[in-house]
Amino acid sequence: MTDRSRRVPQARLSRLAAFGQMAGGIAAGVLGEGARRLARGERPQMSDLLLTPANARRVTDQLSRLRGAAMKLGQMLSLDAGDVLPAELTEILARLRETAHVMPPVQLSRVLAAGWGPDWRRRFARFEATPIAAASIGQVHRAVLPSGQVLAIKVQYPGVAASIDADIDNVATLLRLSGLLPASLDVAPLLAEAKRQLHEEADYLREADQMRRFGALLEGDDRFVVPRPFDDLTRPGILAMDFVPGTPIETLEGAPQEARDKAMGALLDLVLHELFDFGLMQTDPNFANYRWQAETGRIVLLDFGAARAVTPEIAGAYRALLQAGLAGDRAALRAAMLRIGFASPALLARHGATIDTLTGIVLDHVGQSRASGLFDFADRSFVADLRNRAAPLMADRQSWHIPPAETLFVQRKISGTALLCVRLRARLPLVEMAGTFAER
Q: Average pLDDT of each block of 10 consecutive residues along the chain (440 residues)?
A: 48 47 46 46 45 57 52 50 49 53 88 97 96 86 98 92 79 63 73 85 96 98 98 97 96 96 98 97 91 96 95 96 92 94 90 92 91 94 89 81 87 91 96 90
What is the DSSP track for 32-85?
HHHHHHHHTT----HHHHHS-HHHHHHHHHHHHHH-HHHHHHHHHHH---SSSS
The residues annotated with a catalytic role in the active site are: 284
Q: What is the structure's pLDDT at 166?
A: 78
Q: What is the structure's pLDDT at 121?
A: 96
Q: What is the structure's pLDDT at 55?
A: 57
**What's the burial of 317, exposed, middle or buried (CB within 10 Å: 0-12/13-18/19+)?**
buried
Instruction: For Cα atoms 246, 247, 250, give the angle at the middle one, nearest 5 degrees.
Output: 140
Task: Judge whether 246 and 162 are in contact, CB under 8 Å.
Answer: no
Q: What is the structure's pLDDT at 26?
A: 46
For the full predicted model, state whether its pTM sits above 0.75: yes
Q: Count the Cβ atoms, other than its own, within 10 Å of residue 398.
A: 10
